Amino acid sequence: MGIFFYYDDKTKSIILADRGQGILSTLKQVRPELNNSVDALKIAFTETISGRKEEARGNGLKFVRSVITKNPLSLDFQTGNAFLHIKQNDKNLFIRETDTSIRGCFATIKIEKTL
């Protein structure tokens, strides 16, 4: 249980996998009207919200987005059946529905150029 972490020096990529409940289930605790992973993923990357009531948290993925878009990096992120891809200088989020659904979250961060 817990999180899986892998770094590949050859491809300059980091892989993270969390077998938790996923973003939709987490955010439904404070936003019960959420119906799908695509909307939940958009909220997670754009709004300050925590899946834990009464906590001043919820900035983690907004911080990740900021770091990715300001540096020569890319991020592929999946939760449920929602997939997001962002890279340096992206102003908009590119989220799409996938044919496969996963429990938890899966992220790949890649260095696109030498920092």
Query: pLDDT tens digits for 22-79?
Result: 999 989 988 899 999 999 999 999 988 765 666 555 678 999 999 999 999 999 999 9
Closest by alpha carbon to 35, among 97, 99, 85, 104? 97
pTM over 0.75: yes
- 112's tokens: 């696109």
Which helix (DSSP H) or strand (DSSP E) does residue 43 occupy? Answer: helix 37-46
What is the CB-side half-sphere exposure of residue 105 using CA atoms within 13 A?
A: 23
